[in-house]
A and B are shown apart, each in its own frame.
Chain A
């Protein structure tokens, strides 16, 4: 079996763990900071209603964040600024993710890349929620590329590769273009591995292209998938799998 030379990692609910981002904590902190302590249960209730409107919290944040300001926080822009700060502060690395990344980059010599469905335009490193998260958590230096349907970015230099714009993880065009790039470095599909939680974007399309797939089940567990090679419930298990592959 070919040794792995390229590692791709999904971000949301996989590398990043949102379990510490709880409404009572988030809106409790905001209310205390803006002096509206009595609003905590009201804001929490409204946020829960907004979640039912858009089916999930990521559904709110991916296109309706303005309603957190207008509906939940009564247009209080100061409170919204704190929400945006706290959102980053309260998101955590998934268990073992930091240790895995440092091990892979420093001991094995493979800097992984984030492969994510970013919806907003790609800006400089730290200007979007994902690279800002990597910067805040001190992890950005261990990563190589940030690869998204908005473009690819070298995280060390900030250089952008706009040809990725308009590609998709789900229909596989992002992986096709990535493999063309990797081929120029002499890396074959069987030397690529991805760690992600969603079959439709992280598991099935890469497997169809010959990658090794690790399904992360630590936050969202979609169950067994025919395209999954390995399962891992935390990043310590990911590391144990990767030790056999590199």
Chain B
């Protein structure tokens, strides 16, 4: 593209890359490397035998996560720190997943509370549009990790149960 310029980079091991930048770029300013401890959680869910497990990467305060629950199942867990495992520069904080916590019940109760405050039933809300459902979710302090569609579909499933 004529309106782009390209930066070339070469590593000590011979690796070369190019990347497009804005066409009005003039020259190099500076280069610096940030070294910082980053934590990512990996929540792994079993799937049928022979199928690779489901994997959710948690990048929001991974050690702050407290409970997990799987809708449409009785699987509800409260995370409990177990031990650490070091392998080279990698340090893992492992958790036990004892059953309990009733996160699903907690969320359903909060939804009922928000609906009651708005003077509507779960059925009333199901007849409304996505924007109204999202507004109720927001009032109940529930957000979608990756998309609003996930949030709306989840709420619709839950609303049919309460």
Q: What is the interface of chain A, defined by CB distance below 8 A to chain B?
A: 24-25, 28-29, 32-33, 35, 37-38, 52
Contact = CB atoms under 8 A, between A and B. Distances in A.
A200 B145 CA distance: 44
A25 B64 CA distance: 12
Interface in B107-162: 134, 138, 143-148, 151
Give the interface size bracket for B toward A. Answer: 10 to 19
Given A35-B144, A37-B147, A29 B60 contact: yes
Nearest to B137: A35
A87 to B, nearest CB: 16
A28 B144 contact: no
Interface of B: 29, 59-61, 134, 138, 143-148, 151
Given A33-B138, A33-B143, A52-B29, A24 B59 contact: yes
B101 to A, nearest CB: 22
Contact of A32 (B29, B61, B143): B143
A28 B60 contact: yes
A175 B32 CA distance: 37
Given A28-B59, A35-B144, 5 more contacts: A24-B59, A29-B60, A35-B151, A37-B145, A52-B29
B27 to A, nearest CB: 14
A35 B147 CA distance: 7
